[in-house]
């Protein structure tokens, strides 16, 4: 298949892997964080770690939209869905995210009208088809999905719809990266920058990472060769003593971002003073709320919400996993009490979550394969 | 000192034990995930149905029960159909209901003989649609060489049954000497698929019209007992057969790996798939290994006979796209691994919940 196969070529991967290995200084360990959950998914889905030398560790970052939603917000959304007038429209991967006591899937089974949609425009369609109901779109995601929510609000305003609103849980990526860089317990050598977020915000917002923190960042695409090449670019920078912002994903990402998307975003949304991130706590200016001008489409203004903060379960170490301090399997409940089927933490829910990706794709050990003399152990190196 | 590797191994062992523990239902209500054919479905089946009905014929939880009456060995199976939409390119709920049960019998290597048909109809369902469904059932039964010999009809209030739900049950006779059970699968066996995967799943998804994607894809729904009979005649090393319906190839192969306590290694490059299926799956972020087929089956065959089995499959009109897609190894037991086209390795687990409900 064009535009896919050429980015999955095993021969090219082997050649790149060899060049990456050559750049490793003997005795030095390298830790790179892939900020975006989409990258985490790609890394595990294609087995990219099989190509990396032992000296390079990939640390999974906080860029998974579902993973950073705090339980209190899920409870608020379920409260909305419980109103008999409301149809809640949500992306599929939100369905199993646990709130304080239950998920959308549980609420749906108990009678709430919750519909899965593939786009906020589908939610708008629902509003047109059900004029006697109030359709609320559960808006989640980083700058990648926020412009489409904003566009939908603008369209609803243009068409004069009175039964459509969004429950905005949109967050922004830069404050999360700042929080990680300020976290004392993590030493990183560089970042794989989030490709799709960067199509919107461009590459300049990352400048501080190179300028103030002296870390390289390479904006990376989502095919496996994109990831390997971006790691190679990070290694080249480190070997030359540079720390700069580079754009590997130039076939999609423009350096200045997407001006149209940004203007739509600013038209509809403004920064919240602060927002709670699951596992990371409150981060100021890290999330988007609907502007006063579009109050008629803001579920938070239209409905009474309990707004109760729910503490993360004690056993759950999503925060440490999101910050890259713990590997998924190092969490105490990983794979036993917390599985994709009965998730305790959000990292286990979304296919982009580090724990779900590791559990679903990576939960076997090369050592075990080697001990067992499996032919795979040979293949995979 | 314990190394990180040893610690990780210990964690993996702990997880393995947790996975093998007896299923417990923690949900208070049935959710859509219980019907999706993945882990939640297994839990429901084990904890509720098997617990209540436990007997040696049911216990293997195969697609059909196999038992002897007099000198005859019979296969017996049932399945319900709640697909939406009722009509889709390449088929409808009617031929799905006939072929589905025919195939459940065929996976025991049985020659299907008789079917029952149960209709649950919604008040207001157009008679024209019902006639279409029934005509399609008659055609499918005729093509499969089975007769629908008993049936039942119920009508429920408007809004209750999405137009029409069907149930079929079937009886077939087994005329070969092989056992064909999951626990017969051994390291060294080859894994074959009878044709390209995922066409039914994608077709039904697109037929709902919610995705605004057009394609020429058709459902692969077809009766499989003919191609199975040819295979069983051609080679005597067939260990186990399973049609890749709900949950797709990934889910059924996981069930077999666990039942036989072996590992299965797929070669991603060898898995046959139409470009349209791959494209839709890439676009929607769905793994094609979990997409339902209604006319494809997976065969576990003794390694030495893999080529002969492949030749037999390809000689049948329904098997022209057949391929050897993997092999059985001893370790790590109970796991299914995929050697990716990119050259890496990953796990292929059982489906958890289904983002796309009711495709069969």
Of A47, A365, A367, the CB nearest to B346: A47
Cα of A148 vs its chain's centroid, Å = 16
Task: Return the structure tokens found at A146.
Answer: 């926020």
Q: Work out the average pLDDT over A125-131.
A: 96
**What's the confidence (pLDDT) of residue A308?**
87
Tell me whether residues A106 and B337 touch, CB distance under 8 A: no
Residue B336 has pLDDT above 90, yes or no: yes
Give the integer Cα–Cα distance in Å for A35 and A191.
7
Q: How far apart are CA A350 and CA A369, in angstroms?
A: 28
Residue ranges of chain A that CATH labels 3.40.50.11740? 71-171+287-302
pLDDT of residue A368: 54
- Residue A378: pLDDT band with limits 50, 70, 90: very low
Mean pLDDT of B270-282: 93
Q: Are strands A86-90 and B72-81 parallel, antiparallel or unpaired?
A: unpaired
Query: How far away is chain B from the Cα of A97, in angstroms, using its nearest Cα?
Result: 13
**Model confidence at B103: pLDDT above 70:** yes
CA distance B27 to chain A (A): 8
What pLDDT is attached to residue A366?
58
| pLDDT at B33 > cutoff 70 | yes
Cβ distance A224 to B15 less than 8 Å, yes or no, reads no
> Beta partners for A61?
none
Looking at residue B282, its pLDDT comes to 86
DSSP character at residue B161: S
Whole-angstrom distance, CA of residue A48 vs CA of residue A232: 13
B343 to A372: CB separation less than 8 angstroms, yes or no: no
Q: How many CB pairs under 8 A join A and B?
A: 144
For A365, which of B12, B210, B352 is closest by C-beta distance?
Answer: B12
Looking at chain B, the whole-number percentage of residues with pLDDT higher than 70 is 96
Tokens of residue B192, six digits: 């074959």
Angle at A357 between CA B249 and CA A216, to 5 degrees: 140
Mean model confidence pLDDT for chain B: 91
Residues of B within 8 A of A336 (CB-CB) are: 14-15, 18
Whether chain B has a CB inside 8 Å of the CB on A10: the answer is: yes
User: Per-residue pLDDT for A173 more than 80?
Assistant: yes
For residues B173 and B105, give the distance between their C-alpha atoms in angstroms, rounded to a whole number.
Answer: 9
Q: Is the pLDDT reported for residue A135 higher than 70? A: yes
Task: Give A329→chain B minimum CA distance, Å.
Answer: 7
Distance from CA of B31 to the nearest CA of A (A): 5
> Minimal Cα distance from B17: which residue of A?
A336
Which domains are seen in chain B, by residue range? 1-60 (no CATH), 62-174 (3.30.1330.10), 182-347 (3.90.650.10)
pTM summary value: 0.86
**What per-residue confidence (pLDDT) applies to A18?**
95
The verdict on B159 touching A (C-beta cutoff 8 Å) is no
Predicted confidence at residue A118, as pLDDT, reads 85
Chain A residues with beta carbon closer than 8 angstroms to that of B35: none
- Please state, for a pLDDT cut of 90, what percent of chain A lies above it: 64
Mutate to test the interface with A, among B11, B21, B212 (most CBs of A within 10 A): B11
Least confident of A82-96, A143-157, A253-267, A316-330: A316-330
Judge whether residue A380 has pLDDT over 90: no
The whole-number average pLDDT for the span A196-225 is 96
pLDDT at B40: 79
Q: How far apart are CA A79 and CA B239, in angstroms?
A: 52
Question: Is the predicted pLDDT of residue A271 greater than 70, yes or no?
Answer: yes
How far apart are alpha carbons A126 and A86 in whole angstroms?
11
- Higher-pLDDT residue of A184 and B150 is B150
Spatial separation of the C-alpha atoms in residues B101 and B170, rounded to whole Å: 6
CB contact under 8 A, B344 and A380: yes
Spatial neighbors of B197 by CB under 8 A, at least 6 apart, are: B244, B248, B249, B271, B272, B273, B277, B288, B289, B291, B293, B296
Query: Among A259-273, B204-218, B262-276, where is mean pLDDT lowest?
Result: B204-218
Q: What is the pLDDT of residue A343?
A: 83
Q: Which of A16, A365, A377 best tests the B interface by mutation, with the highest count of B CBs <10 A?
A: A365
* CATH match of A71-171+287-302 with 3.90.1150.10: no
Segment A214-239 mean pLDDT: 97
B8 in contact with A, Cβ within 8 Å:
yes
Looking at residue B358, its pLDDT comes to 54
pLDDT at B359 over 70: no
Instruction: Indicate the pLDDT class of residue B202, thresholds 50, 70 and 90.
Output: very high
The pLDDT score that the predictor gives to residue B4 is 66
Phi and psi torsions of B298, nearest 5°: -100, 135
| Cβ-based neighbour number of residue A77 at 10 Å | 26
Q: What pLDDT, on the 0 to 100 scale, is given for residue A377?
A: 45
Nearest CA in chain A to B43: A341
Q: What is the mean pLDDT of chain A?
A: 90
- What is the percent of chain A where pLDDT is above 70? 95
Strand A56-63 with A30-36, pairing: parallel
Inter-chain contact B12–A329, Cβ cutoff 8 Å? yes
* Portion 78-107 of A in contact with B at CB < 8 A: 92-93, 95-96, 105-106
More confident residue, B18 or A57: A57
Q: Does A164 touch chain B (CB under 8 A)?
A: no
Taking 50 as the threshold, does the pLDDT of residue B234 lie above it?
Answer: yes
Instruction: Tell me how close the Cα of B59 comes to any Cα of chain A, in angstroms.
Output: 24
A211 — pLDDT class (breaks 50, 70, 90): very high
Q: Is B149 on the interface with A (CB under 8 A)?
A: no
Contact B344 A362 (CB under 8 A): no
Q: Which residues in chain B (243-302) have CB-CB distances under 8 A to chain A? A: 263, 265, 275, 278-279, 282, 284-285
pLDDT of B28 higher than 60 = yes
What pLDDT is stored for residue A79 in this prediction?
A: 97
CA-to-CA distance for B164 and B121, rounded, in angstroms?
5
Name which residue leads in pLDDT, B162 or B27.
Answer: B162
What own/partner pairs with CB < 8 Å and gap ≥ 24 does A120-126 have?
A: A120/A89, A120/A148, A120/A149, A120/A151, A120/A152, A120/A166, A121/A148, A121/A152, A121/A155, A122/A89, A122/B210, A123/A89, A123/A152, A123/A164, A124/A152, A124/A155, A124/A156, A124/A161, A124/A164, A126/A87, A126/A89
Where helices occur in A110-220 by DSSP H, the ranges are: 120-129, 146-158, 173-182, 195-201, 207-211
Report the interhelical angle of B225-234 vs B306-314 (nearest 10°): 140
pLDDT score for A65: 85
What span, in angstroms and rounded, lies between the C-alpha atoms of A194 and B310? 44
Q: Supply A277's token pair.
A: 């991130």
**Whether pLDDT at B25 is above 80:** no
Query: Is there a contact between B265 and A376 if contact means CB atoms under 8 Å apart?
Result: yes
Task: Indicate if the pLDDT at residue B1 is higher than 50.
Answer: no
Lowest average pLDDT, out of A136-140, B22-26, B281-285, goes to B22-26
Measured between CA atoms, the residue of chain B closest to residue A14 is B343
CA dist., res. A248 & res. B323, Å (int): 37
């Amino acid at each position: 298949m064009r535009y896919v196969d050429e980015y999955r070529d095993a021969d090219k991967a082997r050649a790149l892997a060899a060049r990456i290995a050559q750049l490793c200084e003997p005795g030095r360990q390298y830790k790179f964080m892939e900020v975006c959950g989409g990258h985490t998914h790609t890394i595990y889905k294609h087995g990219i770690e099989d190509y990396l030398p032992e000296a390079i560790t990939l640390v999974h970052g906080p860029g998974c939209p579902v993973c950073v939603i705090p339980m209190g917000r899920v409870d608020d959304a379920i409260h909305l869905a419980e109103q008999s007038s409301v149809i809640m429209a949500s992306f599929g991967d939100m369905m199993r995210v646990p709130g304080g006591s239950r998920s959308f899937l549980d609420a749906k089974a108990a009678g709430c009208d919750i519909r899965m949609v593939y786009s906020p425009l589908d939610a708008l369609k629902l509003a047109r088809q059900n004029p006697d109901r109030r359709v609320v779109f559960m808006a989640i995601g980083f700058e990648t999905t926020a412009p489409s929510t904003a566009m939908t609000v603008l369209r609803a305003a243009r068409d004069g719809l009175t039964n459509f609103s969004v429950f905005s849980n949109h967050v922004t990526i830069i404050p999360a990266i700042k929080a990680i860089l300020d976290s004392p317990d993590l030493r990183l050598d560089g970042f794989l920058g989030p490709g799709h977020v960067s199509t919107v915000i461009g590459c300049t917002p990352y400048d501080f990472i190179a300028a103030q923190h002296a870390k390289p960042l390479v904006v990376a695409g989502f095919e496996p060769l994109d990831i390997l090449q971006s790691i190679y670019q990070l290694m080249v920078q480190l070997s030359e003593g540079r720390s700069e912002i580079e754009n590997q994903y130039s076939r999609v990402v423009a350096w200045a971002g997407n001006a149209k998307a940004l203007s739509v975003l600013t038209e509809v949304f403004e920064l919240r003073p602060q927002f709670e991130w699951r596992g990371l706590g409150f981060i100021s200016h890290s999330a988007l709320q609907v502007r006063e001008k579009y109050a008629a489409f803001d579920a938070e203004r239209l409905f009474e919400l309990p707004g109760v903060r729910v503490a993360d379960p004690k056993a759950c170490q999503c925060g440490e996993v999101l910050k890259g301090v713990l590997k998924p399997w190092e969490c105490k409940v990983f794979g036993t009490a917390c599985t994709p089927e009965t998730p305790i933490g959000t990292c286990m829910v979304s296919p982009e979550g580090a724990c779900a990706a590791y559990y679903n794709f990576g939960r076997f050990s090369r050592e075990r394969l080697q001990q067992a003399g499996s032919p795979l152990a040979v293949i995979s190196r | 000192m314990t190394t990180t590797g040893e610690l990780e191994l210990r964690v993996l062992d702990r997880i393995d034990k947790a996975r093998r523990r007896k299923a417990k239902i923690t949900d208070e209500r049935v959710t859509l995930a219980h019907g999706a054919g993945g882990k939640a479905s297994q839990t429901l089946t084990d904890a509720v149905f098997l617990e209540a009905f436990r007997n040696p014929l049911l216990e293997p939880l195969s697609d059909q029960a196999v038992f002897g009456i007099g000198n005859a060995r019979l296969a017996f199976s049932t399945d319900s159909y709640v697909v939406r939409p009722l009509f889709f390119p390449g088929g409808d709920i009617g031929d799905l209901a006939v072929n589905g049960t025919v195939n459940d019998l065929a996976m025991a290597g049985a020659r299907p003989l008789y079917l029952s048909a149960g209709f649950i109809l919604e008040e207001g369902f157009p008679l024209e649609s019902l006639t279409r469904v029934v005509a399609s059932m008659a055609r499918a039964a005729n093509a499969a060489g089975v007769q629908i010999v008993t049936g039942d009809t119920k009508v429920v209030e408007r809004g209750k049954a999405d137009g029409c739900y069907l149930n079929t049950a079937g009886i077939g006779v087994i005329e070969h000497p092989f056992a064909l059970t999951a626990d017969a699968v051994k390291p060294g066996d080859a894994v074959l698929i009878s044709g390209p995967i995922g066409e039914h799943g994608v077709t039904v998804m697109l037929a709902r019209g919610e995705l605004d994607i057009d394609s020429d894809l058709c459902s692969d729904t077809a009766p499989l007992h003919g191609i199975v009979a040819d295979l069983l005649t051609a080679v005597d090393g067939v260990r186990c057969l399973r049609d890749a319906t709900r949950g797709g190839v990934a889910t059924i192969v996981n069930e077999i790996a666990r039942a036989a306590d072996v590992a299965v290694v797929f070669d991603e490059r060898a898995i046959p798939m139409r470009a349209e299926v791959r494209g839709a799956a890439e676009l929607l972020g769905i793994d094609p290994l979990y997409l339902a087929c209604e006319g494809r089956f997976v065969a576990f065959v003794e390694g030495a006979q893999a080529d002969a089995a492949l030749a037999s499959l390809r000689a049948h009109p329904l098997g022209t796209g057949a391929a050897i897609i993997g092999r059985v190894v001893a370790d790590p037991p109970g796991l299914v691994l995929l050697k990716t086209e990119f050259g890496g390795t990953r796990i292929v687990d059982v489906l958890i919940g289904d983002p796309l409900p009711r495709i069969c």
